[in-house]
Amino acid sequence: MLIADVDESTAAATAESVRRAGGQADHHRVDVSRAADVRAMAAAAVKRFGRIDILCPNAAIFDGAPIETMPEELWDRLLGVNLKGVFLCVQACIPTMKAQGKGRIVVTSSITGPKTGIRGMAHYGASKGGINGFIRSAAMELARQGITINGIEPGHVMTPGAEVLYDEEFKRAVEAFIPMGRFAVPEDIARAVLFLASDDSAYMTGQTFTVDGGVTLPEYPAGFPRS
């Protein structure tokens, strides 16, 4: 397993945790918005492990701003990481997967954009909606090569990065709105990724899984008046 991140120290720490658990892992610094970086990442994976069986493009940023005042640079930077980064990662890994005659690609999308919207996050929603469109078209191109590409649409996931965004009052309000009554933990998302990365999903491509605890289900958040 090659752990790639723009923050090399984070990538190294994650790789070390995999090794402590008995797995094989190395790390590599990459800025997924830069084609040269991504090509070097793919080459490093092949050099270290000899092949690329599974690709999981997961990088994302989410600085918010209203459309009216959003700097063009912010729009470009966010789509450069969130959307262009997916394209570059897939593009860089296709040749190796084609030569193998097999590959699994699992992309992290979101409910925001494909299913919901948030004020101040139009750029983020556009990037994730774009990912879903990319998945479907890429699936058509890659299916005959033995390569599947699918996506995960997480809901509210409590990670160290997300935790700093929620004060306790807002956290309780969000939890109350989620039908399952809790935020996802990373393992909830990982299980869905594992399925799509395995041969159990061999006949699936161009699809997205919503993993959100039911948060996109309510038509009336407070319940229908006569229920």
Catalytic residues: 124
DSSP 48: H
Distance from C-alpha of 46 to C-alpha of 92, rounded to nearest angstrom: 11
123-161 burial, b for 16+ CB within 10 Å, e for fewer? bbbbbbbbbbebbeebbeebeeeebbbbbbbbbbbbeee
The CA-atom distances, in angstroms, between 211 and each of 40, 79, 108, 208 are 32, 23, 11, 10
Report the amino acid identity of residue 109.
S
DSSP 12: H
Radius of gyration of the chain (CA): 18
Environment class of residue 215 by beta-carbon count within 10 Å: exposed (0-12), middle (13-18) or buried (19+)?
buried
CA dihedral in degrees (165, 128, 27, 55; nearest 10)?
A: 150
